[in-house]
Amino acid sequence: MNEKTLDFIEPDTSVKVLKVAGQKSSRKRILDMGLTPGTRVDVVRRAPLGDPVEFKLKGYNLSLRKREAETVLVEIVE
Amino acid sequence: MTEKITVALAGNPNVGKTSIFNAITGSKQHVGNWPGVTVERKMGKRVHNDLEMEIVDLPGTYSLTAYSLDEIIARDFIIEEKPDIVVQVVDATNLERNLYLTTQLMELGVNLIIALNMTDLSLAKGDRIDADKMQEFLEVPVVSTIGSKGNGIEGLLDEITKEFHRPQETDNVFTYDDAIEKISQDLESVLESDPFFIHYPSRWFSLKLLEGDENIIRKAKESDSYHGIEKILNKVDAELLEAKIADQRYKTIQTMLRQVCNINTCSLSGSDMVDRVVTNKYLGIPVFLSLMWAAFEVTFTFATPFMNMIDIFFGRLAEAVTNVISVPWLASLVGEGMIAGVGSVLIFLPNILLLFFMISLMEDSGYMARAAFIMDKLMSRIGLHGKSFIPLVMGFGCNVPAIMATRTIEDTRDRLITILITPFMSCGARLPVYVLLAGAFFGRDAGVVIFSLYALGILIAVVSAKLMRGTVLRGEDTPFIMELPSYRVPTLKGSAIHMWERGRIYLKKAGTIILIGVVGVWLLASMPAPGSNAVFASDAVYGTTQSVIGVIGQFMEPLVAPLGFDWKIAVALLFGVVAKEIVVGSMGVLYGAGENEDNLSQILAAGAMTPLAGLGLMVFTLLYAPCFACIGVIKRETGSWKWTMFQLLYGTSLAWIFAFIVYQAGSRMGLLV
């Protein structure tokens, strides 16, 4: 299987969200921001110091710290 | 007869809510804090078609699940205050995410109107949105607007009037799958049978229960029917349901978007191209530092001539008034007390206006979010958010506008910590003290000494932030989940309004505290100490041993003696609480050097003070209670005397401890003697 957590994905890669785990409050927020299962997410870039990471989904740009990205389970799509 | 109604403006951050608010209310707006908390409350009035509308600008929210104070306020306002109309401002270039909030507003059953904003930008992007079709699908009025140009505002006001006169029952177009609907209905019937829940829309409340919203569950536990609710909730897998609800909301939005618009997603937008440079791995930090430097330069260098002008103006005014008034004590009160006091408040105004103009440009253009993105890693090391960086840097210029700049930080705990550590950023007013003392005692090494003081300030700020995170302001780290909005051209009008708003707040609130402080100090310095036969407010009294403050200084001498300071330094430091620049002037007077700093430097170097005590005095000046203007702003921005006093006591204790270490350890080791 190609399952990985979102913090491991290199920039310029597209993934599909499988599940959001993690702490209650941040999980809810991540879901509210549109990272629902099935959503396609493009990893855009990392910040100059390596963290946080910028993503593109649903036509807008979102940034998460690696700590939060770690809670999102994804699979790589072609 | 005019009727009064309340209209709440809701919406995601960065959707142009403020420009719509400004366009509706014009100059008839006022700013205060929400009762009991420090989040800003913007309100304005507008009369349209015989309706007097009170417009309330709610804090920006992504959803009505309350994570942050902002969101709790927005949600509570809508639920408890029940505004007659809620206008949701929606960014037409970012419909999918924006409409998520719409789903929740509709579940609340409010009288909703959608202002489809920034339609010019979405058109330029190549999107075609059919507002009429959208209105049909959502069954709520949809009005196209361009807030920055004021387009569509009249139409929006017309729609508010119409909606008020015939409120419509909106059918919920956002429905869920059968399993969720079934459980939701079970819950709704329990909620509707209990009068405890009468104030809450039952559909919304039941969905929030299913999503596991902690505030809502806590509320439900207070009711008698919680047992029944719990029985239903126990049957479901909360985590799965939570994801399903969010997912299905977005699904409905997607279905609608396919019907009502043609969104152009393939082109590389201008924002992406700018971001390739601005957040580039190698260029990102240099670009950020250059912009910071430019903002700093504009704020503090451009402000200097204006500050000098204000200074000279008030100096002359005080002189003129003193000459005109023949009663010496009155002349001194008006001249040295009140006029000097007003001057010490107004002198920061150019700083504040320019800083907020720069911040507004950075915010409105979308750069601020990138600045936070770039600096977050560094700031998260000390438990803060990327957005804390800018106020801290600004603190090197002047702590007063820097503390006001913390308003860009959404999380209250992050913001409070940033406010409390900003005074350790060595501001411009402390520099004259360093220059005098380092020059007098350290000659060629003066530069190194001054640089070390700045570094010490940063170190203390960093360590303090870490300490507070771990103790008095403990809490889990706020997750960094932030939108990076598209770049936009900021409007001059928007930035000017923002700038003036800040200036006004500063003058009004901080001004009163500063004035009282300044006049208070004048009184203490002018009043002869009981028992002395000196004359009130004569030069022989002002600040000398004969004055009340002189007595206080002598009383305090044992307290500062372990630091190598005498009563004159104690008095100078007391005056320094009014404004740090005054420390040098007071020492000049007290050591009999007059206004001439070279004289003072020579007197000090000749043995009035040891070099170690001089170093300690610089450290003390860096760390102890900030100036009155700053204290006023801390009070205003934290909304709490408790935290203001905490800062004063914490800073002053640190100052004492560090000066003590410098002096005592230094003399034991025989350094600098």
Tell me the pLDDT of chain A (78 aa) as tens digits: 678 999 999 999 999 999 998 877 788 889 999 999 999 999 999 999 999 999 999 989 999 999 999 999 999 987
Distance from CA of B283 to the nearest CA of A (A): 8
Q: Which pairing describes strands B3-11 and B40-48: parallel, antiparallel, or unpaired?
A: unpaired
Instruction: Tell me the mean pLDDT in the region B581-602.
Output: 77
Q: Which residue of B has its CA nearest to A65?
A: B480
- CATH number of residue A16's parent domain: 2.30.30.90
Residue B87 has a pLDDT of 97
pLDDT confidence band for B510 (50 / 70 / 90): low
Question: What would the two tokens of residue B497 be?
Answer: 């309004």
Question: What would the two tokens of residue B55 be?
Answer: 């417009």
Partners of residue A48 in chain B, C-beta under 8 Å:
279-282, 284-285, 374
Does the pLDDT of residue B100 top 90, yes or no?
A: yes
What domains are there in chain B, each with its CATH number?
3-165 (3.40.50.300), 178-262 (1.10.287.1770)
Residue B267 CB coordination number (10 Å):
9
Does the pLDDT of residue B308 top 70, yes or no?
A: yes
What's the domain range around A21? 3-76
pLDDT confidence band for B503 (50 / 70 / 90): confident
Name the maximum alpha-carbon separation found in chain A. Answer: 32
Residue B417 has a pLDDT of 94
Partners of residue A64 in chain B, C-beta under 8 Å:
479-481
- Between B327 and A7, residue with greater pLDDT: A7
Considering the entire predicted model, what is its pTM?
0.85
A66/B contact by beta carbon, under 8 A: no
Residue of A19, A49, A54 to mutate when probing chain B, most B C-beta within 10 A? A49
Is B16 annotated in a binding site? The answer is yes
Whether B373 and A38 lie within 8 Å, measured CB to CB: no
B104 contacts: CB under 8 Å, gap ≥ 6:
B63, B64, B204
Closest CA to B3 of B85, B86, B91, B126: B85
Whether A62 and B482 lie within 8 Å, measured CB to CB: yes
Instruction: Tell me the mean pLDDT in the region B438-463.
Output: 91
How far, in Å, are A37, B484, B510, B569 from residue B369 at the CA level? 26, 6, 29, 45
Mean pLDDT taken over chain B: 87
**Starting from the edge strand earliest in sequence, which strands make up the sheet with A53-57, in order?**
A3-5, A72-76, A13-20, A40-46, A53-57, A60-64, B481-484
Residue B183 has a pLDDT of 92
Interface size between A and B, measured as CB pairs under 8 A: 131
What angle in degrees, to the nearest 10, is found between the helix axes of B611-623 and B446-470? 40
B251 contacts: CB under 8 Å, gap ≥ 6:
none
Whether B94 and A61 lie within 8 Å, measured CB to CB: no
Distance CA B428, CA B431 (A): 5
Distance from CA of B360 to the nearest CA of A (A): 21
Is B31 annotated in a binding site? The answer is no
Instruction: Tell me the mean pLDDT in the region B304-332.
Output: 88
Question: What would the two tokens of residue B605 be?
Answer: 């170097």
Distance CA B333, CA B329 (A): 6
Does the pLDDT of residue B266 top 60, yes or no?
A: no
pLDDT confidence band for B509 (50 / 70 / 90): low
Does the pLDDT of residue B265 top 70, yes or no?
A: no
Element at B463 (helix H, strand E): helix B446-470
Q: Which residue of B has its CA nearest to A60?
A: B94
- How many structural domains are present in chain A? 1
Residue B53 has a pLDDT of 95
Name the maximum alpha-carbon separation found in chain B. Answer: 91
Element at B91 (helix H, strand E): strand B85-91
A58/B contact by beta carbon, under 8 A: yes
Cis link prior to A52 (omega < 30° from 0)? yes
Residue B71 has a pLDDT of 81
pLDDT confidence band for B473 (50 / 70 / 90): confident
Distance CA B361, CA B4 (A): 35
Instruction: Tell me the mean pLDDT in the region B597-603.
Output: 82
Distance from CA of A72 to the nearest CA of B (A): 12
Q: Which residue of A has its CA nearest to B12?
A: A33
Does the pLDDT of residue B518 top 80, yes or no?
A: no
Range scoring the smallest mean pLDDT among A21-30, B9-18, B564-573: A21-30
